[in-house]
Chains A and B, each alone.
Chain A
Amino acid sequence: MQTLDAAFSALSDPTRRAILARLATGEATVMELVEPFAMTQPAISRHLKVLETAGLIVRRVEGTKRPCRLAKAGIEPIDQWLAMLRKAFEKNYDRLDQILAEMQPAKSRINQPVNQRKRRKDTR
């Protein structure tokens, strides 16, 4: 839960969300991240620090550069949330398929209960 809290509080800032969105397209250096934002490098670096502490990004050393990329743990809470949402939708729409199938024959707007219709067919 702690990680999740840190992750979401790190995510509460629009600049940090934008940084993550940028990193979702691939690794980037601080300089590359500074470019699209009207911010100084130290300001961006501070945001990166928050993201790193929250476990949302990881940085590696490459000469004098420290490129950042999304950490797996950083993507998980959102992935998890999206997976939940997806599951809920799937469940609902499977039920809706069923209801639509029952509505179909009633196109004539005669609201005959489905079970009656079935029964009649069975006793042909």
Chain B
Amino acid sequence: MTTMAKTELPKRKMPKLTMKTEGDLYIVVTRRFAAPPDAVYRAHTDPTLLQKWLLGPEGWTMPVCICDPRPGGRMRFEWAHARHGKFHLTGEYLELQPPNKIVHVERMHLPDPTPDNHVETRFEADGEGTLMTIRMSLPDPQTRAQMLATNMEQGMEASYARLDGIL
């Protein structure tokens, strides 16, 4: 048990999300959580937990969440919205180091599949919490255009959720 870190950071002052592009190929996202890496890792690999938060904007649900977190294991997330319809994401896990690292590839089906997105997610202990760092490929311009176009048609919402799938 360590109580040493307690005085360091007031919990409520947790830095928000940061997001930056790395060249024109990658995006790096960081976010801190007030829970240890094993909890954050679990929330990223347990389907019943994923269904509660990986939803994008209000109104979307994830009726189907299949994930098999082992190398070569598959993932399939299906989202649905009362007005905006459905779409899904498929992917494969490449490497898992619980509770610190998940590497996977994924693609969205809009309905045509987008090019594979390579995603590396890390969870590092940070005081009593976790620093998460995601490094992922930026979709190529055509894919971005496709997402934006669909997005405009559907009143901004659908794409948010689609993009959430990048997780």
Contacts known (A93-B31, A97-B33, A103-B43); A8 close to B141, Cβ less than 8 A? yes
Interface check A117, CB cutoff 8 A: no
Interface check A37, CB cutoff 8 A: no
A-B contact count (CB 8 A): 105
Binary A-proximity of B130-151 (CB < 8 A = 1, otherwise 0) = 0000000000111011011101
Which range holds the interface residue count of chain A?
35 or more
Q: Which A residues touch B73, using CB under 8 A? A: none
B39 touches A103 (CB 8 A): yes
A84 touches B142 (CB 8 A): no
A95 touches B144 (CB 8 A): no
Interface check A43, CB cutoff 8 A: no
Q: Which A residues touch B99, using CB under 8 A? A: none
Q: Which A residues touch B119, using CB under 8 A? A: none
Interface check A80, CB cutoff 8 A: yes
A17 touches B141 (CB 8 A): yes
Min CB–CB distance A26 → chain B (angstroms):
16
A84 touches B52 (CB 8 A): no
Interface check B56, CB cutoff 8 A: yes
Contacts known (A82-B21, A88-B161, A89-B164); A103 close to B148, Cβ less than 8 A? no
Closest chain B residue, CB of each to CB of A83: B19
Binary A-proximity of B88-119 (CB < 8 A = 1, otherwise 0) = 00000000000000000000000000000000
User: Which residues in window 22-52 of A have CB below 8 A to B?
Assistant: none
B40 touches A92 (CB 8 A): no
Measured in the bound complex, the distance between the Cα atoms of B53 and A11 in whole Å is 33
Can you name 28 A-B residue pairings with CB atoms under 8 Å? A4-B148, A4-B149, A8-B142, A8-B144, A12-B141, A12-B142, A17-B141, A18-B24, A77-B144, A78-B144, A84-B163, A85-B163, A86-B19, A88-B56, A88-B57, A90-B17, A91-B57, A91-B160, A92-B54, A93-B53, A96-B33, A98-B53, A99-B43, A99-B49, A99-B53, A100-B43, A103-B43, A104-B35
The 5 A-B residue pairs whose C-beta atoms are closest, nearest first, are A8-B145, A11-B141, A100-B35, A95-B53, A88-B160
Please list the residues of chain A having a beta carbon within 8 angstroms of any beta carbon in chain B: 1, 4-5, 7-9, 11-12, 17-18, 20-21, 77-78, 80-82, 84-93, 95-101, 103-104
Please list the residues of chain B having a beta carbon within 8 angstroms of any beta carbon in chain A: 16-17, 19, 21, 23-24, 27, 29, 31, 33-35, 39-40, 42-43, 49, 52-57, 140-142, 144-145, 147-149, 151-152, 156, 159-161, 163-164, 166-167
